[in-house]
Amino acid sequence: MEVGNPVSVMRSTALLEQHLPKLPLLPCASFVSSTGIRPVIFKHEAQLNTGDDGAVARQFPKITAASWRHVLKADGFNEASQAMRVAVLFSGGPASGGHNVIVGLKHALAGSTLLGVRCGPKGLLAGDFFEITDEQVEHVRNIGGFDLLGTDRTKIKSDEQVATLRKVCLEHKLDAIVVIGGDDSNTNAAVLAEALFNIKPDGTGVQVIGVPKTMDGDVQQDGLLPLPFGFSTATRIYAELVGNILQDTPSSGKYWHFIKLMGRTASHVALEVALQTHPTITFISEEVREQRRSLQSIIDEIADAVLDRASRGMHHGVVVVPEGLLEFIPEVSDLIAEIERVMVADGSYAGLDRHHRREFFISRVQHLLFGQLPHYIQDMLIADRDSHGNLEVSQIPTERLIADMVAARVDGKVKLLPQTHFFGYEGRCGAPTRFDAMLSYNLGLVAGSLVLDGRTGYMAGFTNYDEGGSPVAIPLVGIMGAERRNGKDEFVISKRLVQLDDPAFLYFAQHRDEWKRDDAFASPGPRQFWGPTAYEMPLTVVINHGYGGFFRV
Amino acid sequence: MEVGNPVSVMRSTALLEQHLPKLPLLPCASFVSSTGIRPVIFKHEAQLNTGDDGAVARQFPKITAASWRHVLKADGFNEASQAMRVAVLFSGGPASGGHNVIVGLKHALAGSTLLGVRCGPKGLLAGDFFEITDEQVEHVRNIGGFDLLGTDRTKIKSDEQVATLRKVCLEHKLDAIVVIGGDDSNTNAAVLAEALFNIKPDGTGVQVIGVPKTMDGDVQQDGLLPLPFGFSTATRIYAELVGNILQDTPSSGKYWHFIKLMGRTASHVALEVALQTHPTITFISEEVREQRRSLQSIIDEIADAVLDRASRGMHHGVVVVPEGLLEFIPEVSDLIAEIERVMVADGSYAGLDRHHRREFFISRVQHLLFGQLPHYIQDMLIADRDSHGNLEVSQIPTERLIADMVAARVDGKVKLLPQTHFFGYEGRCGAPTRFDAMLSYNLGLVAGSLVLDGRTGYMAGFTNYDEGGSPVAIPLVGIMGAERRNGKDEFVISKRLVQLDDPAFLYFAQHRDEWKRDDAFASPGPRQFWGPTAYEMPLTVVINHGYGGFFRV
């Protein structure tokens, strides 16, 4: 047997990773001058009406006065050449396109110093910075992951943390901080913008700009930000996997697959994957809550489909559920709320082992459902909450719970061979789709331009995808409201959930009976970086916003 | 909000599925005449020496006499224009490229009738046929799945089944049967070829030709068939997912992922994915067996890496295990063998419920390990075997078992956040890589040519991927041997396991310490059908056969 020279084939990066940085970055026309990529200045557009009776303005007086809750639009190139010191960090879970935001920032801030913050807000408090070089950004162009900087989920809110941060800002002579994160992180950006507003000896402040990231797709602002970056890539990855499994079911003809998709509270991910693939049954959490469905009615619906299809010789199917489903079932949601009240009322469970912890809650929780659930689900419901006060829903094996309950329900009538899957982590760090690569690069250019234009308390936005794209800036105080968390009112950016009158949901609702009855699935395959499908857009935005199927640059 | 016209965007097939059939099929030069694709005739090459002392020849006298165990090579176009009636079926689990085998058969058998058999061997016995049209094959060109025909795992071996099959062949006036399947299915093809050798009234027989399929990669014949079809696509899908997760680990910096990869007995899939992605730790079953490692030593190795990396600030990693790992750990393998002896000796456990079944085996199985395993693993080990007598290893959550044991082992020293994954079904029916599309189409052309050339008892082969490809035919009796199954000797095609002196394994062994110590991973991303990476070959064949990194056509 002849042996080749593996050294020429093997490499520390894969072949695709060597080619991706050569793909174009796709800036929108606003940023393209005859001499190259240039930052823009902004003009004021319409004011956002918050309808919060001034509560947000009272909580954030400085950035409210600075922005007047005005949306900003691009208004020509920025001719000044300030040399600023800007720190950038990732906050929260990774999403594809994060590196391209850094590339966009670096390009917009060509005359300035861009400092990378290691490991998110935690690294910001520790002053763990390094200067990001031109070479580094060229290496991570169009590459997935957050690993150039790392990330974490620390929330900066205590007086002590804020004092530390002020010291770090002054020590490192920071002029601005760019926070790339989801709704919680952008809420935190508003807090920081207010806290750092005029902390410098000369009376000026440290500007804070947010960049909307989340594979969940829940940071949307109608007309200003159809989607955050990361959603397109995650849903294309999950849609390939769901499509492959759908393709497998009539081929092997004997399995029912129960698939949970990551995406926290909102069901945008599940809806987008359903539109792309047409699974046998998909549940949308927001509809489940609206109809006040019980867990049993969900099991019944699946069991009925299993039996109906079996009677027609089809012993296979695919059920898709969103990560947050259980929380949207009113009885489960009531139960979780009760558990969280118990947690707040008496923290003594914290040190108990699994068995005694379960006993602790069984003796205190009134809701009948709790005792009816299997132990492995009970344990999940009483687990520690993450630092944002959310239930770690991604850890609850909803897919297994439903598969087990459906199997029990059809037992003796048909032989159900269930397979369960949770698709999550594999969708957060993949190489960005061309859409996410374009969107995140432009968001970086917007954020860098906002910094140079002296703005603070703004979140970068980007819209009009099918007309070449338009930069916008969204005042954070214009999109915040009060929400009850851990028993207290907090000012947060509301998640944009699926609305039952969204055209994308209506399309789904109109076609799902056919998808349940027949094998009318589509298998969209892997996302492509070259060829005729590379410029596809997520179907949710296509349908909701009346866009064509492809984005234009 | 403006609403677009979803009808122009939504479709029963995805956009990629509309473009894939337009991609070229890539026949090798042997099949390309000035007038289009043509079948070839074959000449005899070297005889295969089986070293089985004539036992196979005695079991299969007719097809041994017909082939003389001669390998065949292409020898010009087939000028005759027989009109034959040929049935084709899938057998066993799906693998990407199956549809292109049908396309190749249809093109080679242009003047003949090609009958599709519904639902595999079961449909063959039932005579469930339909004529495959030109339009149908054009629709499934380069499309994943086995759904044009369906498949099952029935094994045709009893005298009664053979008698039924003979009747079906005569009733439907079949001249030949093409069986697309793995090692078991090609073994079955030899049985059928012998049984149908001269069953027609005129003394001629029904020819049987096998086509090698398996995503496991274990049907290999050195020099004649570097790979079956399906392996390239499955490993590229898994490598993307493992690469994405590797990319996620330093980004989020807190998880250890335990990933099991489908692939039955052999570790080719795990090795290929390791070569493509460089996970922190990968176990190769064949090496584990060779070194007679205990389950505890595997847990220790992972725990040591967890602690060593944590001491250097790295609280993340990825562990990859092959589906068959547990069977290759001698103590587990001893235990499984003992359980199977108990099953054969006393079948009375069959009707027992889970609890009593467990008690039944606990009272009879001597091996100490059995009692030490968690209940969920015990239950799997004593579950019913599939119709080929194999343990349904894909159902054993090895990844969970190992994660649980490692977590227990490092408890109190570091906080391990394990995530477990099983990647399997999502890799069997994806749109074939360009490599699998090329390979499977050519295998179909070889199989069709063998039918027209009057051959029987052969398996289609294809080799020399980086020189445009060469059709070969492999005599089934030349690659069979005796193997003990369910306590009986059976003549079967041996699986080609990973050899510890394979260059691909040696490359892995040379680099794995670096991959364990540092984050030296690669993230190969999704397979591409266009662009500079579309013609990549699996690294296993590149390294083992000294090929360049790309296949040529």
SS3 readout for B422-490: EECHHHCCCCCCHHHHHHHHHHHHHHHHHHHCCCCCEEEEEECHHHCCEEEEEEHHHCEEEEEECCEEE
Residues in A touching B533 (Cβ below 8 Å): 15-16, 19
Residue A429 to chain B, least CA–CA distance (Å):
5
Q: Sorting pLDDT into bands at 50, 70 and 90, what band is A383?
A: confident
pLDDT at residue B81 is higher than 80: no
For A535, nearest residue in chain B (alpha carbons): B15
Is residue B474 included in any domain, yes or no? yes
- How much is the pLDDT for B371? 86
- How much is the pLDDT for B384? 84
A500-509: pLDDT as tens digits? 999 999 999 9
Looking at every residue in chain B, the average pLDDT score rounds to: 92
pLDDT at residue A362 is higher than 60: yes
CA atoms of A110 and A133, how far apart (whole Å): 11
B233-248: pLDDT as tens digits? 999 999 999 999 999 9
User: Which H or E run includes A138?
Assistant: helix A134-140
pLDDT at residue B383 is higher than 90: no
Of the two residues A287 and B11, the one the predictor is more confident about is: A287
Backbone region of residue B502 per phi and psi (left: phi > 0; alpha: psi in -120 to 50; beta: other values): beta
pLDDT at residue A532 is higher than 70: yes
- How much is the pLDDT for A327? 86
pLDDT at residue B37 is higher than 90: yes
Write b or e for each residue in B179-204: b if 16 or more Cβ atoms lie within 10 A of its Cβ, otherwise e: bbbbbbbbbbbbbbbbbbbebbeeee
Residues B236 and B200 in one domain: no
Neighbour-count burial of B106, counting CB atoms closer than 10 A to its CB (0-12 exposed, 13-18 middle, 19+ buried): buried
Is residue B353 included in any domain, yes or no? yes
Q: Structural domain tally of chain A?
A: 2
Give the position of tokens 């079967």. Answer: B492
CATH number at residue B311: 3.40.50.460
pLDDT at residue B221 is higher than 60: yes
B488-502: pLDDT as tens digits? 888 999 889 999 999
- How much is the pLDDT for B9? 34
Q: Residue B175 in contact with residue B143, Cβ under 8 Å?
A: no
- How much is the pLDDT for B355? 82
- How much is the pLDDT for A4? 31
**Using CB atoms and an 8 Å cut-off, which of residues 290-349 of chain A contact chain B?**
none
- Its pTM stands at 0.94
Interface test with A, best of B12, B13, B16, B215 (most A CBs within 10 A): B16
pLDDT at residue A11 is higher than 70: no
Lowest mean pLDDT of A312-321, B210-219, B331-340, B445-454, name the range.
Answer: B331-340
CA atoms of A259 and A245, how far apart (whole Å): 10
Q: Residue B227 in contact with residue B389, Cβ under 8 Å?
A: no
Q: Sorting pLDDT into bands at 50, 70 and 90, what band is A2?
A: very low
Query: Could you give the angle at the alpha carbon of B42 between the alpha carbons of B37 and B43, nearest 5°?
Result: 150
Residues A153 and A72 in one domain: yes
Is residue A510 less than 8 Å (CB to CB) from chain B?
no
Q: Sorting pLDDT into bands at 50, 70 and 90, what band is B6?
A: very low
Lowest mean pLDDT of A465-469, B193-197, B432-436, name the range.
Answer: A465-469
- How much is the pLDDT for A52? 75
The mean pLDDT value for A160-182 works out to 97
Name the nearest CA neighbour of A109 among A442, A456, A449.
A449
Is residue A7 less than 8 Å (CB to CB) from chain B?
no
- How much is the pLDDT for B452? 97
For B273, nearest residue in chain A (alpha carbons): A14
- How much is the pLDDT for A432? 98
Looking at every residue in chain A, the average pLDDT score rounds to: 92
Residues A360 and A468 in one domain: no
- Taking CA atoms, B482 is separated from B57, B162, B459, in Å, by 12, 21, 19
- How much is the pLDDT for A53? 74
Strands B70-77 and A85-90: unpaired
CA A35: distance to chain centroid?
35
Residues B362 and B440 in one domain: no
Q: Sorting pLDDT into bands at 50, 70 and 90, what band is B54?
A: confident
Q: Residue B536 in contact with residue B543, Cβ under 8 Å?
A: no
Is residue A183 less than 8 Å (CB to CB) from chain B?
no
Residues A189 and A285 in one domain: no
Q: Do A539 and B252 touch (CB under 8 A)?
A: no
Is residue A487 less than 8 Å (CB to CB) from chain B?
no
Residues A294 and A395 in one domain: yes
Interface test with A, best of B89, B220, B251, B434 (most A CBs within 10 A): B251
Is residue A162 included in any domain, yes or no? yes
Q: Residue A96 in contact with residue A432, Cβ under 8 Å?
A: yes
Residues A300 and A379 in one domain: yes
CATH number at residue A78: 3.40.50.450
Q: Sorting pLDDT into bands at 50, 70 and 90, what band is B483?
A: confident
Is residue B8 included in any domain, yes or no? no
B311-361: pLDDT as tens digits? 999 999 999 999 999 989 999 888 988 999 999 999 999 889 888 999 999
Residue A540 to chain B, least CA–CA distance (Å):
10
Q: Residue A273 in contact with residue A351, Cβ under 8 Å?
A: no
Residue A411 to chain B, least CA–CA distance (Å):
14
Residues B278 and B200 in one domain: no
Q: Do A524 and B93 touch (CB under 8 A)?
A: no
- How much is the pLDDT for A394? 59
Lowest mean pLDDT of A142-146, B160-164, B353-357, B521-525, name the range.
Answer: B353-357
B236-293: pLDDT as tens digits? 999 999 999 999 999 888 999 999 999 988 999 999 999 999 999 999 999 999 999 9
pLDDT at residue B388 is higher than 70: no
Is residue B80 less than 8 Å (CB to CB) from chain A?
no
The mean pLDDT value for A183-188 works out to 95
Residues in B touching A527 (Cβ below 8 Å): 526
Percent of all residues in chain B with a pLDDT value above 90, rounded to a whole number: 81
Residues A319 and A452 in one domain: no
Residue type, A438: M
- How much is the pLDDT for B463? 96
Residues in A touching B226 (Cβ below 8 Å): none
Q: Residue A414 is part of which domain span?
A: 231-427+501-534
B136-192: pLDDT as tens digits? 999 999 999 999 999 999 999 899 999 999 999 999 999 999 999 999 999 999 999
Is residue A426 less than 8 Å (CB to CB) from chain B?
yes
Strand order in the sheet with A207-212: A40-47, A70-77, A470-475, A458-463, A207-212, A176-181, A85-90, A113-117, A129-131
Is residue A417 included in any domain, yes or no? yes
Neighbour-count burial of A255, counting CB atoms closer than 10 A to its CB (0-12 exposed, 13-18 middle, 19+ buried): middle
Given A175, A183, A216, A218, the catalytic residue: A216
Percent of all residues in chain A with a pLDDT value above 90, rounded to a whole number: 80
Residues A122 and A196 in one domain: yes
Is residue B43 included in any domain, yes or no? no
CA atoms of A243 and A63, how far apart (whole Å): 46
Is residue B341 included in any domain, yes or no? yes
- How much is the pLDDT for A8? 31
Backbone angles phi, psi at A271, to 5 degrees: -65, -45
Residues B310 and B398 in one domain: yes
Is residue A486 included in any domain, yes or no? no
- How much is the pLDDT for B390? 66
Which candidate from A4, A536, A545 shows the least CB-CB separation from B546? Answer: A4
The mean pLDDT value for B448-470 works out to 96
Name the nearest CA neighbour of B189 among B205, B211, B167, B174.
B211
Is residue A23 less than 8 Å (CB to CB) from chain B?
no
Residues A399 and A256 in one domain: yes
Take residue B269 and report the two structure tokens written for it: 């899939």
Percent of all residues in chain A with a pLDDT value above 70, rounded to a whole number: 96
Q: Residue A203 in contact with residue A210, Cβ under 8 Å?
A: no
Residue type, B457: G
pLDDT at residue A325 is higher than 90: yes
